[in-house]
Amino acid sequence: MKKHNFNAGPAILPEYTIEKSIEAIKDLNGSGLSLLTISHRSKDFDAIMDGAVAATKRLLDIPEGYSVIFLGGGASTQFYTVPYNFLGKKAAYLDTGSWAKGGIKEAKLFGEVDVVASSKDKNYSYIPKGFTIPEDADYFEICSNNTIEGTEILEDWDVKVPLISDMSSDIFSRPMDVSKYSLIFAGAQKNFAPAGVTIVIVKDSFLEKVVRPVPTMADYRVHVSKNSMQNTPPVFPIFAALKTMEWMEQEGGVKEMEKRAIARSEKLYDELDRNKLFKATVEDPADRSRMNITFLLKPEYEELQDAFLELAKARGLVGIKGHRSVGGFRASCYNALPMESVDALVAALQEFEKAN
Ligand SMILES: *Cc1c(COP(=O)(O)O)cnc(C)c1O
């Protein structure tokens, strides 16, 4: 049976990335060696690393004065690396859910944390508005796409202090204005590569603001000066990231990725708004994630939860159970997800409505 991969992460990747990875694992560029067995100091790998940095810069139209590095460890590692480097006295955070809280928790180890606003009062089902960011904060950190709760910040905000964003689950899903940010980080396994690498885009002038001595592997300045080669980088995930970037460029870049994300998510939200059994957990269309569409059975139909999961399984819909912390359902619709998979989910929602 054809499987429709709605996994939240690790998640769907383009066939192109999988095929090119298989080829390279067998034999990289006719070298007679597997990608998995080459030196990270080889010319072959230099080309992969340089290619991935250059493709990131092209795709996101990154201006001069920014560096792109590929680090081991997940996005969670950045939760402490950011404050380790930049939280001197006080930092501001926006509490939009589980991953935002991950950053807040670690920052408290290093200094004062001002949580400027929170959407906790409504289970993180909206993006807080109308808050004030203290002008003496060392930085303001947000999570642009709340993978678990299904909200997304789709604008590049203008703020008076350095802006930092965890874009783990929506990087490369829209054109963006990188110049608004001092640092962006994104774990790979949601939207561009297998787990094991995190991309960091950092403004070079921000690196002059490091507030304390930092261990080598947590020091952004080291990784920038060593082109992500201070130690052995995650060779395979970086190769796969490069292949996904090639695929995105061939398909029309992040503009086209955005077009597809809008088409997929609108189709799903329209069905959820119409269907008598289900509802989207995020009500305000402006706050709805295009990447992670979270939904529930209405209270009067709640007992049908397991029955819908059964139907989903029978129709080849993989990964639509909501995160264990929030329940319900979640359809993660990352860049590589074809519209045909969204159509299959919509058909299942309609079939289930008819049967109940
Ligand atoms: C998945 C995720 C993380 C954690 O990523 P790891 O690579 O598992 O550490 C952090 N932030 C967001 C927004 C995520 O979606």
Range of the domain at 265: 252-355
Whether the per-residue pLDDT at 237 is higher than 90: the answer is: yes
- Is residue 75 lining ligand 1, measured as CB closer than 6 Å? yes
CB 200 within 8 A of CB 73: no
Residues 238 and 268 in one domain: no
Q: Of 132, 136, 142, 72, give the one whose Cα is nearest residue 103.
A: 142
Q: Who has greater pLDDT, 190 or 324?
A: 190
For 240, the token pair is 């796969």
Is 49 in a helix, a strand, or coil? helix
Of ligand 1's listed atoms, the one at least distance from the Cα of 145 is 13
Nearest CA residue ID for atom 5, ligand 1: 75
pLDDT (mean) for 186-207: 98
Q: Is residue 47 part of a domain?
A: yes
Residues 197, 323, single domain; the answer is no
**Interatomic CA distance for residues 140 and 90, integer angstroms:** 10
| 265 and 163 co-located in one domain | no
270-298 pLDDT tens trace: 999 999 999 999 999 999 999 999 999 99
335 in the same domain as 234: no
| pLDDT tens digits for range 319-348 | 999 988 888 999 999 999 999 999 999 999
The pTM for the full model equals 0.98
- Counting from 1 in the atom list of ligand 1, the atom nearest the Cα of 195 is 7
Instruction: Give the closest residue (by CA) to ligand 1 atom 13.
Output: 168
In a shared domain, residues 167 and 98: yes
Of 213, 232, 251, the last residue of a domain is 251
Q: What is the CATH number of the domain that holds 331?
A: 3.90.1150.10
- Is 166 an annotated catalytic residue? yes
- Domain's final residue, options 191, 220, 251: 251
In the predicted model, is pLDDT for residue 102 greater than 90? yes
Is 321 designated active site?
A: no
Distance 320 CA to ligand 1 centre (A): 18
Name the residue with the closest Cα to ligand 1, atom 2: 168
Domain CATH for 182: 3.40.640.10
Burial letters 28-64, b for 16+ CB under 10 A, else e: beeeebebeebebeeebbeebbebbbebbbebbebee
Residue 191 lies in a domain: yes
The mean pLDDT value for 63-86 works out to 97
| 242 and 189 co-located in one domain | yes
* pLDDT tens-digit series, residues 13-39: 999 999 999 999 999 999 999 999 999
Structurally, the chain folds into a number of domains equal to 2
Question: In this structure, are 130 and 221 located in the same domain?
Answer: yes
Q: Is 202 helix (H, G, I), strand (E, B) or coil?
A: strand
Q: For ligand 1, say whether the CB of 165 is within 6 Å of any of its atoms.
A: no
